[in-house]
Structure 1
Amino acid sequence: MAIAAVGASWIHRVNDPGVLCPLRALTGIPCPMCGSTTVFIELGGGRPAQAVLANPVAFTGAIAVALAPLGPGGRWWALQPKTRAWMLGTALVGSELWQLVRFGVLRV
């Protein structure tokens, strides 16, 4: 995963593809996962603070996936399905609010 992130970071710097989110490209409104590619690229470029600012939920998810084989994955699956759904739904709503503020759609 680290090698892929470093490679993506390098490729992005050489040839910036622009906006990858279809919803944002068509409407200008970001989706809850907007910034996920940026998280990956910033982590690969060694800039974790910028990765967190791009999308804290995607950043946490990337770290969780990377650490899942070390034990946290088992704890996640031990939770009740309703609890997992509630946690994911809350994270997506929080992520959408973050993106709306980040892109200036909402003002705080």
Structure 2
Amino acid sequence: MLRVAAMAVAAIGASWIHRVNDPGVLCPLRALTGIPCPLCGGTTVFIEFGSGRPGQAVLANPVALTGAIAVAAAPLGLGDRWWALQPKTRAWMLGTALVGSELWQLVRFGVLRV
């Protein structure tokens, strides 16, 4: 419960900071090359969620949002289930999620057209 409360406070705080002073692009790869990384949109997920726009949070980075939900739910037994998986299975799942996230970001920023 404390974990979820801390995440909610962080999301609302990020939303407030963004509204008061937009820091611009935070991703070093995107700032230097214009190409987003698989984690691009992670901060936006919290900003949108903290602003009460969960739909926009999903669109920013569904993988980051899923990861945040998994971290929040880990104490309910999901963490034990994750660590019970074989290391190769965990690596495959994370790799697949990162590739999917990168493709999502490339389409989202218009680098790839579908």
| TM-score category of the 2 structures, normalised to the smaller one | over 0.9
Task: Tell me the TM-score normalized by structure 1.
Answer: 0.98
Task: Report % sequence identity.
Answer: 90
Gaps of 5+ in 1: none
1:33 equivalent to 2:55? Answer: no
- Residues 41-77 of structure 1: CA distance to partner in whole angstroms, max 9, x if unpaired? 1111111110010001000000000111111111111
Q: Distance in 1 between matches of 2:50 and 2:75?
A: 21
Greater than 2 Å deviation, 4+ residue runs: none
Provide the alpha-carbon RMSD of the alignment: 0.6
Q: 1:5: which partner in 2?
A: 11
Q: 1:19: which partner in 2?
A: 25
Q: 2:73: which partner in 1?
A: 67
Task: Tell me the TM-score normalized by structure 2.
Answer: 0.93
Gaps of 5+ in 2: 1-6
